[in-house]
Each structure stands twice: as C-alpha cells, then as structure tokens.
C-alpha cells in the first residue's frame, strides 16, 4: 500500500493572520517588516500579502525596495507572539487528522495519513475537508500537496498557491517531477543551481537522468540525496515526536450565539473533555485558559495560574467561570469558545491528540 503524505503549507501566514485579525487589511498590499521610512528604511521584508507579491515584493527584500514597488502598501511590524499562538492552534487542528504528524516550521507540516485517509473516502476528500474546516474554524487558507513521499508532497504544495491542492499519482511521481525546474527541490539554491546549469541540468528530469556517481564526485553526498529525490526514491518517514505541553478543546457554534446559558453549557462540555484527557494522560495542570471569539473574529484569551498542580475538575470549572465573567455583559454574539489546561506535570511524553477532540491548538509561503 503506497504511503499517503500531505504537506500542508499555510498561505502567506503572517500576512493572513494580520488580515484575519483586521479585516480592513484584506485585499491590501500588506508588507510586514521594518519601518520603510518613506523609502529610506534599512530593514527587510519579513513577508507580504499576495497582493504585494504581484507587484514584486518578497520576503528578505530590502524594505526600501518594497516601498518603491508598493508605495501605496500598508506596512506593519511583525507580531511574533500572535503568529506563534495562531500556529499552535492550527498545528493542533491539523494533528488530529494524521497517523503521524511533523511540524517543520511555524506555518508548515507533514502529515502521514496512509491509514486515516480511508475514513474520509480518499486522500483528496480528506484534503478538501482539512481546507474547508481550516477556513471555517480559523479563517485561514492553506495549500496541500499529496504524494507518496515528503519531497514530492512539498514540491506539489507549492505549485498552485494560494489555497491550492495538488495530487501526485503514486505511480507517476517521476513523470510529475520531470518537467519542473530543478530549483523546485528544497536544497538547490543560488549556489548549486548555476553549477547544475553548467552541466545542462535545468529540470528535475535532467537531474534524474544523471549518473549518481558523477554527481557524487562533483558535488558530494548532498547531490546523491537530490538525485534520489528526482528519481522518486526518497522514503524518509514523517517524524512523529510530540511532547504534550497542554490539553485543550474548542467549539465553533453553528450560528453565532448570544444565549449565555448555551455558552456556559458548551464550556462545561469542553471542561469535561479536557479533564477526561488529563486523567487519561496521568497529568496535573497549573494554568487554566479561556478562549472566546466573537462575531467578526474578535478573539480574547484569559488565563489563571494556580500555585500547586491540580487534577480537580472543580477548580478548572470555577476558574473558567471567573474568567468568562468579564465577557457576559458585552453586547456581542459568541462565535467560538475554548478551554485549555497547561503547565502540565506528569509523564513527559504525550500521545497524539485523539481525532475525536477538536483540539486547541522568515514566512514566505
């Protein structure tokens, strides 16, 4: 049975998070990085929206050049704490779909779904479900590449961004790779590409047709690895190592809710879920966090840390009730609520988050 590997890459992650938090930024030429100072700034672009990319702006680019390309753009400084928090939530969301899960950066991950995809009908159907739920629950888009190995899946995810989905037939991986530029392989950059071009190697197919011995003699061990990728012989496993840092769950209401009795009922259900998991893992918690999102994606988190680790459900319930009190008088409808227990103590290595739980969860994608 061929492996089914997903590479999930969040689209323009930092910029998309900023646009999610402030919808007025959607559709704008958004550049995240240093202050351009009217074109005199000395820093660089961290990332930018696709609207800015269409005009030539790029991550790593001098901010002064970005300003010349996008004089009407919106320039903001990066909020790394926000991006890390959103990344955590999204990665926990993705993890529940995978047999094995490997986060490789703040905005991308590999999922081995060889077994789990059968429950969704097909790899493509599972990918569509992930994309649909991600957009609904987190208001973000991603591009997914599907292939029998990690390298081909990563290449595939980059082909139709943003919001792309590319499936590579497991029997035709070499055919899929062959016409693509050799620079699509991660690891072939500005130094290696000109040397390959001197040998007449411009496509992945060209590289696949070379002698592995000749490549080794000219470029060393790394070239043999690249040759294996080009020939669809890469078989690296998805590295599923996971240390549990928190246990959480969240719930998105079908329609935004202004009935606090219904909100309270859902919070109690979430507390039951996370407390049950806490006991199953043999852990105790020190911090209880409430997450609440109103209509318009206005999101708040409130947390309280207790002096000694606890396993008691009643303590968590009391804290969540206290933390939610400040929001009850607001004339706003609730879109989502979440509960998280963190500062965990107990067995050091956790299991993968069950799929039955709706878990809490330089950018150039």
Residue 108: active-site member: yes
| Residue 62, burial from CB neighbour count under 10 angstroms (0-12, 13-18, 19+) | middle
Beta bridge partners of 165: 144
Could you give the CA distance from residue 128 to residue 118 in angstroms, rounded to a whole number? 14
Instruction: Please name which of 181, 135, 140, 138 lies closest in space to residue 158, comparing C-alpha atoms.
Output: 181
In the set 102, 108, 137, 250, the catalytic residue is 108
Measured torsion, CA atoms of residues 96, 97, 100, 101, in degrees rounded to the nearest 10: -70
Beta carbons of 109 and 93 less than 8 angstroms apart: no
Q: List the structure tokens of 126.
A: 């599972």
Could you give the CA distance from residue 227 to residue 211 in angstroms, rounded to a whole number? 9
Helix (H, G, I), strand (E, B) or coil at 37: helix
Beta carbons of 172 and 148 less than 8 angstroms apart: no
Helix (H, G, I), strand (E, B) or coil at 293: strand
Measured torsion, CA atoms of residues 212, 216, 219, 224, in degrees rounded to the nearest 10: 50
Q: List the structure tokens of 80.
A: 């790394």
* Other Cβ atoms closer than 10 A to 302: 17
Please, how many CA atoms are within 13 Å of residue 178, restricted to the half-sphere of its CB?
A: 7
DSSP label at residue 317: H
Query: Could you tell me the CA-to-CA distances from 166 to 24, 128, 193 in Å, in that order?
Result: 31, 11, 25
| Residue 202, burial from CB neighbour count under 10 angstroms (0-12, 13-18, 19+) | middle
Please, how many CA atoms are within 13 Å of residue 77, restricted to the half-sphere of its CB?
A: 5
- Positions marked active-site: 108
């Amino acid at each position: 049975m061929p492996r089914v590997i997903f590479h999930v890459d969040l689209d323009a992650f930092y910029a998309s998070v900023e646009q999610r938090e402030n919808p007025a930024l959607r559709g704008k030429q958004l550049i995240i990085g240093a202050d351009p100072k009217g074109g005199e700034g000395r820093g660089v672009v961290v990332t930018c929206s696709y609207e800015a990319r269409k005009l030539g702006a790029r991550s790593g680019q001098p901010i002064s050049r970005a300003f010349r390309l996008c004089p009407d753009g919106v320039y903001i400084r990066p909020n790394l704490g926000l991006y890390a928090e959103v990344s955590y939530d999204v990665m926990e969301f993705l993890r529940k779909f995978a047999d094995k899960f490997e986060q490789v950066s703040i905005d991308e991950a590999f999922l081995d779904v060889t077994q789990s995809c059968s429950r969704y009908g097909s790899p493509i159907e599972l990918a569509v479900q992930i994309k649909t739920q991600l957009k609904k629950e987190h208001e973000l888009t991603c591009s997914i590449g599907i292939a029998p190995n990690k390298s081909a899946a990563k290449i595939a995810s980059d082909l139709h961004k943003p919001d792309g989905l590319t499936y590579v037939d497991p029997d035709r991986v070499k055919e899929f790779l062959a016409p693509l530029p050799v620079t699509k392989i991660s690891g072939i950059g500005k130094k290696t590409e000109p040397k390959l071009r001197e040998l007449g190697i411009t496509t992945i197919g060209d590289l696949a047709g070379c002698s592995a011995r000749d490549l080794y003699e000219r470029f060393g061990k790394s070239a043999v690895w690249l040759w294996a990728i080009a020939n669809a012989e890469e078989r690296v496993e998805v590295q599923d190592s996971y240390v549990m840092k928190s246990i959480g769950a969240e719930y998105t209401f079908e329609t935004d809710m202004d009935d606090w009795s219904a909100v309270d009922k859902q919070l109690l259900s979430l507390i039951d879920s996370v407390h049950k998991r806490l006991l199953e893992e043999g852990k105790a918690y020190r911090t209880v966090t409430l997450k609440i999102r109103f209509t318009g994606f206005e999101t708040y988190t409130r947390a309280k840390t207790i002096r000694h680790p606890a396993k008691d459900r009643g303590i968590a319930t009391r804290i969540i009730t206290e933390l939610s009190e400040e929001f009850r008088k607001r004339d706003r409808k609730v879109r989502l609520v979440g509960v998280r227990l963190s500062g965990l103590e107990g067995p050091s290595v956790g299991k993968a988050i069950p799929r039955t739980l709706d878990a809490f969860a330089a950018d150039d994608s």
